[in-house]
Amino acid sequence: MSETNAAPIPEREGDAAGPARLADKIRCDACPVMCYIAPGRAGACDRYANKGGRIVRVDPLTILDARIANGDEIRPFLAAGWSDDLTPARITGIGAGTTYPDYKPAPFIVASKVEGADFVTVVTEAIFSYCGVKVKIDTDRHLGPEQATVTARGEPVGHVTTAEYGSQMLSLGGVRHLTGGTKQEGRVTCETLLALCNREAVELSIEGGSTVVVQAGAAPIVDGMPETRMRVGCGSATIGMFATQWQGLVDEVVVVDDHITGVISEHQAGKVIGWPDTGIRIRGRRSTPGRYFRVAGPGKGWGGTDLDDPLAILDPFQPKKGARPGLRLLMVSTTGEHAAYYVLDQDLVPRPAPMPEALAETVRLIDENCEPALCSVLFMGGAGGSLRAGVTRNPVRLTRSVHAGETRVTLGGAPAWVWPGGGITVMVDVLALPERAFGHVPTPALVAPLEFTLPRAAYERLGGHVAAIRELADILAHGGEYGADSRGIAPP
């Protein structure tokens, strides 16, 4: 980093104060923005500051230490008076500083021993221009059509992607939104990703759908209403789980679902336990027996459909196939949120009736088996490009080592899932990292802690920066290029 003995800073166009105003500023080279920072002030990213004529990291280096009780924190770390046994301590990239410009070694390359074996951990804060988040929203509620644009503060930041079992999915960020649109789109996208990765609540609007407040580890709020549960399964799965619970209590059960609606008398689960035919007829596309697709459109009604009246999916009952007056019918959603009990009259028309308590208990059982509604946020980024040069002089060897399983990748100490194929594309649950582990630079891009751990002999074979390897005790005593402030926290 540039210090007080750096080359004179040239006058910038439009700076009325001239050289006298810039003389005491330092140019920070921690990212491509290259801020001029005055004494006692921070740069545009709020992560680097001018302290006494030196660029330092505002946030302390974070060290995970298993000896610290969960939730406790020691800061500064050096004041703790630890013993020489540093085995449980692991340096993370949080507060470490960056390799940018990437011709230089990573801020910390740490030697360690694990059960007598020599390892090296390369620690840095990586600038991710190619990154985004995958948001999993556990709810049966329809949020919007697939491929619909997701906006934040009026700017497009992503889209709705394919739904998964009991969950709606969003794909947010990516280089196109960060850098391929307007400046405002890029800025809002970066701020949205940063907030989500740092576990903050963000309000998102879905084109042709709902407004949803998303926060990692919290229930979603859809159109102002907090969600409480995700579905127990599709309609067919619900039939399979509870068929025996309904036997003897009711003559027919229809589990209404946006994806697969189940009918117990036709379903294999019903056939196996001897369930008789009822002459029921369902509007929709029949799949296999007792399983129907497209009984209604998606929406906020029964089972994630647009239905307010579940009887709308029924055609007239057929007496020749078992329908009779007095036949008892339960219609229920996949969360138990909606349920209704009917009895067929003399014309075989379902009429509402009070639900027997024993049958109501089975509806409560569906509800009990639903898991709480929750938002999960997974950061995803390409840890490639030139940052690998901070690890080794031959960057492709690092990529090969990662994919061979020789090098372990973590973010803030949390294990990352590495996608197969080219490059080092990682994904991690933001709740597995310490709080506020992510930062940003105004390019715009996210900054995430990144650690590569591998056997020391393997690191040497990769052409690693062996001369930059340091012992943990030395790092704790003297810090690094961006200062010596550090803290110890318990692993998440």
Across the chain, which has 492 residues, the per-10-residue mean pLDDT values are: 30 32 79 90 91 90 79 53 58 90 89 88 94 95 94 98 93 96 96 98 97 98 94 94 96 96 97 97 95 93 94 97 97 96 98 97 95 96 87 94 96 95 96 94 94 96 95 88 86 80
Looking at the fold, whether 359 and 247 belong to one and the same domain comes out as yes
Looking at the fold, whether 305 and 394 belong to one and the same domain comes out as no
Q: At what angle do helices 235-246 and 357-369 cross, to 10 degrees?
A: 140
For the chain, what is the HEC assignment?
CCECCCCCCCCCCCCCCCHHHHCCCEECCCCCCCCEECECCECCCCCEEEECCEEEECCCEEEEECCCCCCCEECCHHHHCCCCCCCCEEECCCCCCCCCCCCCCCCEEEEEEECCEEEEEEEEEEEECCEEEEEEEECCCCCCCCCCEEEECCEEEEEEEEEECCEEEEEEECHHHHHCCCHHHHHHHHHHHHHHHCCCCEEEEECCCCEEEECCCCCCEECCEECCECCCCCHHHHHHHHHHHHCCCCCEEEEECCCCEEECCCCHHHHHCCCCCCCCEECCEECCCCEEECCCCECCCHHHECCCCHHHHEECCCHHHCCCCCCEEEEEECCCCCEEEEEECCCCCEEECCCCHHHHHHHHHHHHHCCECCEEEEEEEECCHHHHHHCECCHHHHHHHHHCCCCEEEECCEECEECCCCCCEEEEEHHHCCCCCCEEECCCEEEEEEEEEEEHHHHHHCCECHHHEEEHHHHHHHCECCECCEEEECCC
Residue 36 main-chain phi, psi, to 5 deg? -90, 120
CA 339 from centre of chain: 33
User: Is 120 buried (19+), middle (13-18) or exposed (0-12) by CB count in 10 A?
Assistant: buried
Looking at the fold, whether 73 and 50 belong to one and the same domain comes out as no
According to DSSP, the β-strands at 108-114 and 469-471 are: parallel
Please count the CA atoms within 13 angstroms of the CA of 66 that sit on its side-chain side. 7
Is residue 50 in some structural domain? yes
Is residue 465 in some structural domain? yes
Provide the pLDDT for residue 5. Answer: 28
Q: Which of 58, 80, 99 is the last residue of a domain?
A: 58
Provide the pLDDT for residue 141. Answer: 86
Q: Which of 369, 397, 420 is the last residue of a domain?
A: 369
Looking at the fold, whether 260 and 284 belong to one and the same domain comes out as yes
Looking at the fold, whether 478 and 392 belong to one and the same domain comes out as yes
Q: Which of 346, 369, 392 is the last residue of a domain?
A: 369
For 370-420, what is the HEC assignment?
CCECCEEEEEEEECCHHHHHHCECCHHHHHHHHHCCCCEEEECCEECEECC
Is residue 192 in some structural domain? no
- Taking residue 348's Cβ as centre, other Cβ atoms within 10 Å add up to 15
Distance (Å) of CA 124 to CA 163, 382, 415, 426, 488: 35, 15, 15, 15, 17
- Find out whether 196 and 137 touch, Cβ atoms under 8 Å: no
| The two structure tokens encoding residue 264 | 């117990």
**Gap between the Cα atoms of 100 and 318, Å rounded:** 74
Is residue 312 in some structural domain? yes
Provide the pLDDT for residue 488. Answer: 85
Provide the pLDDT for residue 184. Answer: 97
Looking at the fold, whether 115 and 241 belong to one and the same domain comes out as no
Looking at the fold, whether 252 and 304 belong to one and the same domain comes out as yes
Is residue 214 in some structural domain? no
Is residue 83 in some structural domain? yes
Q: How many domains does the chain have?
A: 3
Provide the pLDDT for residue 85. Answer: 52
Looking at the fold, whether 276 and 397 belong to one and the same domain comes out as no
Task: Note down the domain range covering 74.
Answer: 69-129+378-430+445-489
Looking at the fold, whether 240 and 359 belong to one and the same domain comes out as yes
Nearest to residue 315, comparing CAs of 336, 284, 287?
284
Provide the pLDDT for residue 69. Answer: 66
Is residue 81 in some structural domain? yes
Looking at the fold, whether 302 and 276 belong to one and the same domain comes out as yes
Looking at the fold, whether 304 and 356 belong to one and the same domain comes out as yes
Question: Which residue type occupies 139?
Answer: T
Looking at the fold, whether 334 and 393 belong to one and the same domain comes out as no
Is residue 52 in some structural domain? yes
Provide the pLDDT for residue 9. Answer: 28
